[in-house]
Structure 1
Amino acid sequence: MCNLYTVRQSAAEVAAHFGVPNPLQTNAPAEVYPGTPGMVVREEDGVRLLQSMVWGFPLRLKDMKPASKPKPVNNIADLKKPMWVGLARKPQWRCLIPMTHFAEAEGQKGKMTRTWFSVKDEPIFAWAGLWRVSDEWGPVYSGVMTDANEAVRPAHDRMPVLVHRDEYDQWLNGGFEDALAFQLRVFPPEFIEMEKTSELWFKRKTVEPETATLL
């Protein structure tokens, strides 16, 4: 499950990578947590747009108090589930999530550290996602997950669905069967670089991220 990733490039650099003609400044931070803003690339009338959205679809559980904040569903386990299938079938609700690294937690509980993953020779890469407009948080997005390849599996059994540069249009505009094929395939492990660190997963001087949910 992906609960933390980075975008350590400017909005202008991200826009250039994804072919966005008129980039706008965003309020997305370099480190993105569930329930916080992140940069998203989508298409409208054949033109790619870069905008800030909240990472995670709001979900209100049955046992939650009326005043409680919804939980951000930031990972998509199965595109065929009722919560996702209607959006996944319609290309206008698909998006690309720019990333420079994604992280997994490793180690003992309370002392977990961050292990970072990136794509070789790609300073920016894309995670396949879905988006919609919510009543609670406005535009929101979530990322599609798949089984981990050999490079990621030592840290976690799931990983983001990563999209190659020459596949961006296929994810954004392809049919439903194309979208399902992305989730079922194995991303080549030889393209993944791993960096183990001593960084604590929860940093004391930052706001603790929302508890994320995968559906």
Structure 2
Amino acid sequence: MCGRFTLNQSATALAEVFHLQQVVDLEAQYNIAPTQMVVTVVHNPESDKRELWQLRWGLIPSWAKEAGIGNKLINARGETVAEKPAFRSAFKRRRCLVVADGFYEWQKQPEQKARQPFYFQLQDGQPFGFAGLWEKWRSPTDDEITSCTIITTQANELLQPIHDRMPVILAPQDYDLWLNPQEQNPQVLQNLLSPYPASAMIAHPVSTIVNSPKHNSPECIIPIKQ
């Protein structure tokens, strides 16, 4: 799964990686948690351009009776995303990139109750896009929430000792295809939902302060000795 991630990048870096025309500097985030607002790249059908949108993390299907269902839908399994009622409509037409530069996973420790958090990022430290889906939901009182989920897949060799799942990190050359709402072939899209190459990633253990979303500082990603 993917339950926490980071984004600490300049507007220039985001504009270059995601081919955006205008990006404002964003506040550094070292411990992004579910239900918080996250930065995404969306192909806006009205402007026909890539845009940065801030969406609530935890997808609320359009047919949901209440917003709370989104708390359980922070991730979508890549193997079944095309069939699940909560995700299949968005998978066809409303795909996005959830912008990050690292993420956390927790490893069970033998004979210990506490799990050890690890921080994962790309070798070059560049920002990247998780494969995501977005949806608009309107409440009975006519409030509108635009939300998103992150798609997961089987863990690569780097993550396997830590966790059996990982978020789908898309290669930059696949961004156009993923964001194209005209592409609706499930097989073509699911071919993109594979584990990112372990050789292109690095990881290190970090402090358990990241366990609480109240902590949002550079200390969250500093390596520790085991």
TM-score range, shorter chain: 0.7 to 0.9
SS at structure 2 position matched to 1:20: coil
For structure 2, list consecutive stretches of 5 or more residues without a partner in the other structure.
Answer: 217-226
Q: 1:159/1:50 Cα in 2 relative to 1: closer, same or farther (>3 Å)?
A: same
Equivalent in the alignment of 2:189: 179
- The 10-residue stretch of structure 1 (185-194 or 30-39) with the greater mean CA deviation from structure 2: 185-194
Corresponding letter in the other structure for 2:96: C
Find the counterpart in structure 2 of residue 198 from structure 1: 207
Where does residue 57 of structure 2 map in the other structure? 55
Match for residue 148 of structure 1? Answer: 155
1:50 Cα shift? Answer: 0.3
CA deviations 1:179-204 (Å, max 9, x no partner) are 11122x33222112111123344238
Give the superposition deviation at 1:96.
0.5
1:116 paired residue number: 119
CA offset digits 1:48-105 (Å, max 9, x no partner) = 000211111138xxxxxx9994452110012121221122112xx1100111111011
How far, CA to CA, are the matches of 1:25 and 1:204 in structure 2?
Answer: 22
C-alpha RMSD over aligned residues: 2.8
Higher strand share: 1
Shift of 1:112: 2.6
Q: Which amino acid aligns with 2:190?
A: L
Instruction: Say which is worse superposed, 191-200 or 40-49, in terms of deviation.
Output: 191-200
Q: What residue ranges of structure 1 are gaps of 5+ in the alignment?
A: 60-65, 208-215
Native 8 Å contact 2:60 2:67 kept in 1: no
Task: Quote the residue 1:63 is aligned against.
Answer: none
- Where do residues 1-215 of structure 1 align in structure 2 (5 Å cutoff)? 1-24=1-24, 29-44=29-44, 45-58=47-60, 69-72=68-71, 73-77=73-77, 78-80=80-82, 81-90=84-93, 93-108=94-109, 111-135=114-138, 138-173=145-180, 174-176=183-185, 177-183=187-193, 185-203=194-212, 206=215
Aligned length: 199
User: TM-score, with normalisation over the residues of structure 2?
Assistant: 0.77
Q: Aligned-pair distance for 1:147?
A: 0.6
Structure-1 separation of matches of 2:21 and 2:116: 38
Task: Compute the displacement of 1:30 (Å).
Answer: 4.0
Deviations along 1:135-159, whole A, 9 cap, x unmatched? 3561111011111111111111011
Kindly state the Cα deviation for residue 32 of structure 1 after the two structures are TM-superposed: 1.1
Amino acid at match of 2:87: W
Instruction: Report the CA distance between 1:170 and its aligned residue.
Output: 1.5
Partner Cα separation in structure 2 for residue 134 and residue 43 of structure 1: 18
Matched AA of 2:199 = E
Is the 8 Å Cα contact of residues 7 and 101 (structure 2) preserved in structure 1? Answer: yes
* 1:171/1:178 contact within 8 Å kept: no
Q: What TM-score do the two structures reach when normalised by structure 1?
A: 0.80
> Residue 33 of structure 1: CA displacement?
0.5
Secondary structure of residue in 2 paired with 1:83 = coil
Deviation at 1:24, TM superposition (A): 4.8
Rounded Cα–Cα distance in structure 1 between residues aligned with 2:192 and 2:153: 9
